[in-house]
Amino acid sequence: MNVTELARKLRITPAKLRDIMPKLGFDIGLRAIKVDPTMAQAILEKLSDPKIRQKYLTDDVVEKPKKSVGEAKQAESKKEGNKVIQISERIVVNELSKRMGMPVTNLILELIKNGVMASLNQDIDFETASIIAEDLGFKVEKSEERAGAAHNIDYGKLLQVDKKNAVPRPPVVVVMGHVDHGKTKLLDAIRQTNIMEGEAGGITQHIGAYQVEKGGRLLTFIDTPGHEAFSAMRSRGAQVADIAILIVAADDGVQPQTIEAVAHIRQAGLPFIVAINKIDKPGVNIDKVKSDLANIGLAAEDWGGKTICVAISAKQNLHIDELLETLFLVADMESDKIVADEKSLAVGTIIESHIDKGEGPVATVLIHNGILKKGEIVKIGGQANKIRAMKNWKGEAVDKAMPSMPVKILGLKNVPLVGEILQVLADRKKIRKLFKNRKELSRLVEQHQAIKTEESEGDEEKKERPQVNLILKADVFGSIEAIIESLEKINQTRVEVVIIKQGLGNIIEKDVEQAVISKAYLLGFNVKITAEAKRQALEKNIEIQLFNVIYDLLLFVEEEIKQVAGVEMVEKTLGKLKVLKIFSTGKNWQIVGGRVESGKIMSDLMAKIYRGNELIEQAQVVSLEAGKEVVKEAVVGQECGVKIKGIVEIKGGDDIEVIKIEEK
């Protein structure tokens, strides 16, 4: 979990969170951007205690971050005035700055410091806005003002279809489910192409959208690498999909990500079909899967419930036609909602974005309303762009995109965020204004990056733990998100993994320069290295590693962590034996009888002898006997004879703990 995200949940600033965590017994480092999920949950639980929250979240305990003289005066004046501002569910950065009476550039810098990259014309959610405002001395109230009002944009209105102009459009289907349950293989079977073999390691590396034709009717499919992107699309006001397919493997049943997918589908209010995949595998029990589904509230139709289930094999292409027919049946039942107004200005959602070597920043947009045409001026996230060219999912050039059609658009100045709304502009004044302000955010980001570099150089001596510094470059945002999420799961407390910089596109000289300054590894995912960057890396002795499978990248990072952390010898208690009788004693050895009270006892391991709570001596378990036979181990409840080697005199009633030494 991001430190910023955790701070939002606690309704404090990231700087304040980093300050109090050592006081609570949690040490993640001053520059960490990620928190282990287990640690994050522990922090949330600890700060849910009112006494602890009052103790550590009061101004006299938490040291406030240093402000410039101007910022300090501004914050103090707001505090003295006790000014209350109202913020809606979402608010434009420029509008928020006006309500707080501060320059928009200062507000953007505050957002950047908290890990939020937003230009003056972009909107941010209530939680982010309220945390920033409260940190600057304002009291915040949530207003019922509609989202996007200050932007003069009503997303609901943009997506609304005039009944007079409503025409049917192809249904948009999202495929969701647990990893390895066959999402990509299902799409492969539907399209009768082989997308999966083109993916390195058979893993979906980023978001894709595809159209297929069946019986003269079109279906649009969205394939996602995770549910975060799907949530991001919905959070920005777009109902991207019309129908969901929940895929469940017949040989694996309901898994954690299955339950998570169900939650996302229900939250989106989507009708859905359960596809029970891999029925070709021997020994699978479809009824067992349906039983698991019933346990999470999804009773199948043939079990008296309302959940439509279709048993398929994507690998063997079994019952795929039946699944498509069922999709069309569900679409027909929702036909009044699956419509578009082709006469309105085009509106769509960005479902994938990246930097292409030859084409520059590109994005895949799914059109909801209207018809997007080549050459039109569009607004994406507060920036104006001219559509220079469009390609369909097959890579063929097209001049227009109809509703429910995914197209790749070229001519963008920057890489848009997944989930951003694309809107065709007709007002020339607005277009000129957007083009004028498009460079402001990138200037501020560069300014902030320079400050961060200076701070990191000054903090070099303050590190409490060794670090593995990384600079990540990848082909698409989805890849960056997947890598960072996976890095979070590397449970390592002795070494801090710090992502110094992340970005899209090939590795260039600037990345090498940054790696030199921060002493970081340069990792590329599905990207290349420019010749100049390669030459510079050799000169500066900077290691660059390229990967096309996430698992390989993680393995490399884990190995580097081991190198930095070194090897730690850890004692692991395997079991405890209560001594009942002493059989014989010799020079430096004893044979005793006893009962195993916990775990298991094994030979050729170290033993600790306790008398009450006092450690008497350490010795060695030489051999075990049970029922007059030599055995390798004795388990709980079993009585056995144990030969102990060591300078020790064991007595009846003593406890023998068997210890195994492991490398960590």
Rounded CA separation 253/286 (Å): 9
Q: What are φ and ψ of residue 446, in 5° steps?
A: -60, -40
The helix (H) or strand (E) run that includes residue 524 is strand 521-525
Could you identify the residue written with the tokens 């951003």?
420
Q: Per the structure block, which two tokens stand in for 653? A: 């009633």
DSSP type of residue 146: P
Q: Is 527 helix (H, G, I), strand (E, B) or coil?
A: coil
Rounded CA separation 476/479 (Å): 6
The helix (H) or strand (E) run that includes residue 353 is strand 347-356
Q: Identify whether the C-beta of residue 616 lies closer than 8 Å to the C-beta of residue 597.
A: no
Rounded CA separation 520/512 (Å): 9
Rounded CA separation 125/115 (Å): 14
DSSP string covering 462-488:
G-SS-EEEEEEEESBHHHHHHHHHHHH
**What's the distance, CA 217 to chain centroid?**
35
Q: Per the structure block, which two tokens stand in for 247? A: 């895929």
Strand ranges inside 251-382, DSSP E: 272-277, 308-311, 339-341, 347-356, 360-369, 372-373, 377-380
- Report which residue type is found at 305: G
Q: Per the structure block, which two tokens stand in for 45? A: 């639980």
Please enumerate, by residue number, every residue annotated as part of a binding site for GTP: 177-184, 223-227, 277-280
Q: Nearest to residue 379, comparing CAs of 611, 148, 46?
A: 148
What are the helix (H) ranges across 360-488? 428-437, 440-458, 477-488
Q: Identify whether the C-beta of residue 643 lies closer than 8 Å to the C-beta of residue 622.
A: yes
Q: Nearest to residue 95, comparing CAs of 133, 47, 61, 69?
A: 133
Q: Is 448 helix (H, G, I), strand (E, B) or coil?
A: helix
Q: Nearest to residue 346, comparing CAs of 318, 375, 325, 326?
A: 375
Rounded CA separation 403/442 (Å): 33
| Ramachandran sector of residue 461 (left: φ over 0; alpha: ψ -120 to 50; beta: rest) | alpha
Q: Identify whether the C-beta of residue 417 lies closer than 8 Å to the C-beta of residue 409.
A: no
Rounded CA separation 196/9 (Å): 38
Rounded CA separation 63/47 (Å): 17
Rounded CA separation 43/38 (Å): 9
Q: Identify whether the C-beta of residue 207 lies closer than 8 Å to the C-beta of residue 223.
A: yes
Please enumerate, by residue number, every residue annotated as part of a binding site: 177-184, 223-227, 277-280
Q: Work out the end-to-end distance of the chain between its first and last CA atoms, rounded to an integer number of angstroms.
A: 25
Work out the number of other CB atoms within 10 angstroms of the CB of residue 553. 24
Q: Is 632 helix (H, G, I), strand (E, B) or coil?
A: coil
DSSP type of residue 144: -
